Amino acid sequence: MVFRKLALAASVAMAMATAAHAQISDGVIKIGVMNDQSSLYADISGPGGVVAAKMAVEDFGAAKKGMKVEIISADHQNKPEVGSSIARQWYDVDKVDVILDVPTSSVALAVNQVTREKHKLFLVSGAATSDLTGKACSPNTIHWTYDTWMLAHGTGSAIVGTGKKTWFFLTADYAFGHALERDTSEVVKAAGGTVLGAVRHPLNAQDFSSFLLQAQTSKAQVIGLANAGGDTINSIKQASEFGIVKGGQSLAGMLVFISDIHALGLPTAQGLIFTETFYWDRNDASRAFAKRFAPQYKGNMPTMVQAGIYSSVLHYLKAVEATKTDDGDKVAAKMKEMPTDDPLFGKGRVRADGRKIHDAYLVEVKKPSESKGPWDYYKVLATIPAEKAFRPESEGGCELVAKK
Amino acid sequence: MTEIFGIPTQALFGQLLIGLINGSFYALLSLGLAVIFGLLNIINFTHGAQYMMGAFVAWFLLNKTGIGYWWALVIAPIAVGIFGVIIERTMLKQLYKLDHLYGLLLTFGLALIIQGLFRNEYGSSGLPYSIPSQLTGGQNLGFMFLPNYRAWVIVFSLAVCLSTWFVIEKTKLGSYLRAATENPELVRAFGINVPRMITLTYGFGVGLAALAGVMAAPIYSVNPLMGENLIIVVFAVVVIGGMGSIMGSIVTGFGLGIIEGLTKVFYPEASATVIFIVMAIVLAIRPAGLFGTQK
Amino acid sequence: MSAVLPTVKSAEVGAQRIVFGVMVAFFLIGPALGMYPVFLMKVMCFALFAAAFNLLIGFVGLLSFGHAMFLGTAGYVCAHAAKVWGFTPELAIVAGAAAAGLLGLIAGLLAIRRQGIYFAMITLALAQMIFFFCLQAPFTGGEDGIQAVPRGKLLGVLDLSDVWNMYGTVLIIFLAGFLLIYRTVHSPFGQVLKAIRENEPRATSLGYNTNRYKLMAFVLSATLSGVAGATNALVFQLAALNSVHWSMSGEVVLMNLVGGLGTIFGPVVGAFVVLAMENYLATLGFWVTIVQGAIFVLCVLAFRRGIIGELGRLIRKPL
Least confident of A53-57, A280-284, C121-125, C165-169: C121-125
Q: Is the residue at C114 inside a domain? A: yes
pLDDT value of position C7: 44
Kindly report the nearest CA distance between residue B267 and chain C, in angstroms: 14
Q: Is the residue at C270 inside a domain? A: no
Nearest CB to B273; choose among C63, C121, C129: C129
Q: Is the residue at C283 inside a domain? A: no
Query: pLDDT, tens digit, for every residue of A317-345?
Result: 999 999 999 999 999 999 999 999 999 99
Taking a C-beta distance cutoff of 8 angstroms, is the pair A218, A196 a contact?
A: yes
Q: Is the residue at C234 inside a domain? A: yes
Least confident of A114-128, C172-186, C248-262, C283-297: C283-297
Taking a C-beta distance cutoff of 8 angstroms, is the pair A149, A384 a contact?
A: no
Q: Name every chain C residue with its beta carbon within 8 A of the beta carbon of A93.
A: 36
Residues 233-292 of chain B with CB under 8 A from chain A are 261, 264-265, 268-269, 271-273
Within an 8 Å CB–CB cutoff, is residue B117 touching chain A? no
Of the ranges A205-209, A395-399, C155-159, which is most confident? Answer: A395-399
Query: pLDDT, tens digit, for every residue of A267-287?
Result: 889 999 999 999 999 999 999
**Touching C: which chains, 3+ CB pairs < 8 A?**
A, B
Task: State how many domains chain C has.
Answer: 1
Best of A70, A71, A79 to substitute, by most chain C Cβ atoms within 10 angstroms, is A79
Q: Cα-flanking dihedrals φ and ψ of residue A196, to 5°?
A: -80, -25
Q: What would the mean pLDDT of C83-106 be, rounded to a whole number?
A: 95
Contacts of A215 (CB under 8 A, 6+ apart): A168, A170, A199, A223, A244, A249
Q: Name every chain C residue with its beta carbon within 8 A of the beta carbon of B101.
A: 63, 116-117, 120
Rounded Cα–Cα distance for residues A154 and A134 (Å)? 18
Q: Is the residue at C273 inside a domain? A: no
Residues 259-298 of chain C with CB under 8 A from chain B are 286-290, 292-297
C42 contacts A81? CB cut-off 8 A: yes
Best of B237, B264, B265 to substitute, by most chain A Cβ atoms within 10 angstroms, is B264
Q: Name every chain C residue with its beta carbon within 8 A of the beta carbon of A118.
A: none
Sign, CA torsion A268/A271/A275/A278 = positive
Rounded Cα–Cα distance for residues C112 and C255 (Å)? 23
Kindly report the nearest CA distance between residue B270 and chain C, in angstroms: 9
Taking a C-beta distance cutoff of 8 angstroms, is the pair C286, A77 a contact?
A: no
B283 contacts C122? CB cut-off 8 A: yes
Best of C56, C69, C253, C297 to substitute, by most chain B Cβ atoms within 10 angstroms, is C297
- Ordered structural domains, chain A, with CATH: 2-146+283-357 (3.40.50.2300), 150-276+359-388 (3.40.50.2300)
Nearest-by-CA chain C residue for B235: C121
Q: Name every chain A residue with its beta carbon within 8 A of the beta carbon of B131.
A: 241
The residue segments making up the domain with residue C75 are 37-245
Give all strands of the β-sheet with A121-124 in edge-to-edge order. A69-75, A29-35, A98-101, A121-124, A141-143
Q: Name every chain B residue with its beta carbon within 8 A of the beta carbon of C138.
A: none
What are the DSSP calls for A243-278, one per residue? TTTTTT-EEEESS--HHHHHHH-HHHHTT-EEEES-
Q: Name every chain B residue with its beta carbon within 8 A of the beta carbon of C136.
A: 269
Nearest CB to C297; choose among B99, B109, B238: B109
Size of interface A-B (CB pairs under 8 A): 107
Query: pLDDT, tens digit, for every residue of B203-261?
Result: 999 999 999 999 999 988 888 888 888 888 898 898 888 877 888 889 999 999 999 98
Kindly report the nearest CA distance between residue A285 and chain C, in angstroms: 30
What are the DSSP calls for C124-161, one per residue? HHHHHHHHHHHHHSGGGTGGG-B-S----EETTTEETT
Beta strands A194-201 and A273-276 are unpaired
Q: Is the residue at C258 inside a domain? A: no
Nearest-by-CA chain A residue for C280: A74
Query: pLDDT, tens digit, for every residue of A11-26?
Result: 444 444 443 444 777 7
Q: Name every chain C residue with its beta carbon within 8 A of the beta carbon of B110.
A: 293, 296-297
B2 — pLDDT class (breaks 50, 70, 90): low
Q: Is the residue at C233 inside a domain? A: yes
Within an 8 Å CB–CB cutoff, is residue C238 touching chain A? yes
pTM beyond 0.80, yes or no? yes
Rounded Cα–Cα distance for residues C247 and C239 (Å)? 16
In this predicted complex, what is the ipTM? 0.83
Mean pLDDT of chain A: 88
Tell whether the model's pLDDT for residue B276 goes beyond 50: yes
Contacts of A191 (CB under 8 A, 6+ apart): A156, A157, A160, A161
Mean pLDDT of chain B: 87
B150 contacts A206? CB cut-off 8 A: no
Q: What would the mean pLDDT of B146-170 be, rounded to a whole number?
A: 91
Kindly report the nearest CA distance between residue C127 and chain B, in angstroms: 9
What b/e readout covers A251-288, taking b as 16+ CB neighbours within 10 angstroms?
Answer: bbbbbbbbbbbbbbbbebbbbbbbbbbbbbebeeebee
Tell whether the model's pLDDT for residue C11 goes beyond 60: yes
B91 contacts C250? CB cut-off 8 A: no
Q: What would the mean pLDDT of C240-261 be, rounded to a whole number?
A: 91
C39 contacts A85? CB cut-off 8 A: yes
B225 contacts A233? CB cut-off 8 A: no
Q: Is the residue at C230 inside a domain? A: yes
Q: What is the residue extent of each domain of chain B?
A: 24-228
